[in-house]
Every structure is written in structure tokens, then in C-alpha cells.
Structure 1
């Protein structure tokens, strides 16, 4: 018997030069997936991951296909090694696309090209320097939402809570001046920390609506199927089966807050406590600990971690 699990897929911020080298050496599925992505993109993605500059890897239009490919590669390695299908999936922002590929809702070659475009659309929606993001630690969600509304009302520009990552950890984004004003106001309101993030665009805000319109056009002819495994969506923390509804949610997601805390709560409500982070890094595992201490987090990042996860889910810890 295998314990029911949820597979969760990371978004931007989990990438680093040299990642997945051991998995690439060990698993045919990882090598084949990167080769497939390179063919779709027209450049050697694996060479970039291993030998490129971190700055190049952090460019949004590069980061998105890199992380999607990494997650799909580890998912395929998991299946190649006889890993069991999870009961449910979810992904943080970009990770939602990874989840939908692994649930057979989106084709991989289509998705890797689509997320490269998504990255370009997001990066160019707001001129560099005019948008910003910041992490707010140690203040409740309602206080952050209210403070952002006050800053907007003051005429400083647009700013809103955009990533509800865990209780006490929320990301805000908007016009640079408005984010700066919100940081000052939130510190005054009692935030333990309020830190600007090293990104150049205000993701998941209303300022991303032009990117959403372009993404809708890019997805117009894209084939989407009903997922074979339920995927919890960022916009409303629910699973959907209707392909056209999934198409709408992927567009809305680009300018809507990421409801990650609610997504994890939705998974927990299904009686699941085993969470497998299917991608590089352990960002989501860290958030899990803050959201619900009953959750057990697992990784597939390297061969040893994958084997340990298999054993844990079959009760052979």
C-alpha cells in the first residue's frame, strides 16, 4: 500500500546554476525531458542550467521554461522508477503549468514554449523600474490587505497583496513608489520584516492585465485536456475538470493573487499529509511547515531523495 500524497510544483525562485546534475546523470527520463525542451525552444536548455550565468537563469523568460522542464523531468523520473501516482497536485504560480503537464492536461512541448512567452509577456507588461515586489513577514493577511488599500487611496499608485504564501508570509507588489510606501506603512503597523525582492516586475497584480491579454491570445489554439489527476488552481484553490475553465484560470492567474495557503488547506482537507516537492529546491516544503505542522515534506531533487520518498510513501522509512 502507498500512502496518498500530493505533488507540489515550485515557481520562480527555485532555480540555480548546476541544479539536478545528479538526477540528470542517474535518470534517462531527466535527460530525455531536457532534450525535448531544447528541441522545442531552439537552444540547449541543459547547457544553460549547468554552465550559464545565474543572471541569465533568473531572466523570467528563461526561468519559466527551466523550472517547468526541471519539474516535468523529475516527475517522469519518479514514474520511470515505479513511483505511485499522487491523489492531487498543485503548483505555485508557474508551477501550476508544471502540474497541468504532469496531469496530462497540457502537452509538454506546447507548455515549455508557452511559459517562455508568458515570461516575456510578464517582463514587458510594466517598464523596468516602474514595478516592484516585497516580502512581508510577521503581520496578518487582513492588516496587509488593509494597509495596501490605504496606500492606493493616498494616490501613491497600485499595490496589493499578491502571494499568500503562508500565515505570516505575504508578498506585495505594484508600482515601485507604492510598494516603497507600503513597506514603510507595514513596518509601522508591526511587520517584523518588509524586504524588497530582486525582481523587476510586479507579478500577479492588476498591472499584469496586458500580459494576461497576450497570454490569452497565445493560448487561443492550445489544446487542453481534462486533467487525469486533480490540480488545485492558484486563483481559487479548487480543482477544475473543464478545459475551457482551466484556460480562463491560467490567464486570470497572471494578474490575480496566488492563494497558496488556501491551496495547501484544500489538499489537507482531502486527508493528505504527505507532500512531495516535484522540482528543484525546498521552497514549498518550507512554506508547508508554516502552514500546517502535521504535513510531511519529501523531495525528488536527486536520486537519494527520490528513493527515500518512495520508501516513505510505502511505509519503509
Structure 2
């Protein structure tokens, strides 16, 4: 991986290496994405009260159908996280809530900008703190 990072950086790519143990956001996940779609089809999701940004094309998504579709698609598609963070900043959004076991997006985002307040929910305790803080 180190050699690949050097090559892509020499070509002008912006790279933030992350240690993961699954082939996230690539075509190897497409079979799992189909199973995830079936799972999501059984779940009732209400129309969001807060802004939901699709991290593939960095646009707002407000219909439940489109949210479910984007959640499935992100499993096997490239994530444009740098562009998403820039989009969020342009929208004057100051607070982000991520649901993750290890603050992954917070760490990556802080390498891109220091203008955002990113809160991570990784257990019930942090969920309750954020829930109370933002009156969700």
C-alpha cells in the first residue's frame, strides 16, 4: 500500500490512508449491497428532520427512497469525502454527527478542515450526550 500511495501522490492525488478490514466502497461489496438493500427495504425510515447529505455525489437527499438507495450505493461506490466536507462548509453547516465505532470520519475530516464541530456516536452513552446536546 505504501508504494501505491507514493505513486498516486506523485500524480497529484489527495490520499488519506485508513486502516480497514473490509473492502469498503468498492465493487467487491456489490453482492453485500444487494443483501443490504433487501434488509433496508424491511425498515421504516421517516423523512429526515435534519439535512442528509449523500456522500457519493455530495448532494442533499430528502426522500426516504433516495436515502435508502444512497446508503446501499455507498457500500460499493467511491466516497468523495473531501468534496463532501467542502460542500458542508459552503452550506455553512457547523455541526456533523457521525455514527461509527472509532471516530473514523472525524479523524479524516479534521485533516481536511478545522472549521467543523464533529461529534461521534459510538455507544449508548455518546448517543444520549449528543441527543441531549442537539435536542434530537
Common fold by TM > 0.5: yes
Work out which of the two has the higher radius of gyration on C-alpha atoms and give 1 or 2.
1
In the alignment, structure 2 segments of 5+ residues that lack a partner are none
Higher RCO (CA 8 Å, separation ≥ 6 residues): 1
Q: TM-score, normalised by structure 1?
A: 0.32
- Give matches, 1:201-220, under 5 Å: 201-220=22-41
Structure 1 partner of 2:15: 168
**Secondary structure at 2:60's aligned position in 1?**
coil
Distance 2:48 2:11 in 1: 34
In the alignment, structure 1 segments of 5+ residues that lack a partner are 1-131, 145-166, 172-196, 311-317
Distance 1:141 1:204 in 2: 23
- Give matches, 1:144-159, under 5 Å: none
Gap change, CA 1:265 and 1:198, over 3 Å in 2: closer
Gap change, CA 1:229 and 1:141, over 3 Å in 2: farther
Distance 1:244 1:230 in 2: 15
Distance 1:215 1:298 in 2: 27
Q: Residues 242-278 of structure 1: CA distance to partner in whole angstroms, max 9, x if unpaired?
A: 2111121111111111221121111101123x34555
On the 8 A contact 2:98/2:105 being kept in 1, the answer is no
> How well do the aligned residues superpose, as a CA RMSD in angstroms?
3.7
**Secondary structure at 2:73's aligned position in 1?**
helix
On the 8 A contact 2:96/2:118 being kept in 1, the answer is yes
Query: Cα distance, 1:281 vs. partner?
Result: 5.1
Structure 2 partner of 1:128: none
Kindly indicate whether residue 65 of structure 2 is the aligned counterpart of residue 244 of structure 1.
Answer: yes
**Which of 117, 127, 132 is the aligned partner of 1:297?**
117
- Give matches, 1:1-20, under 5 Å: none
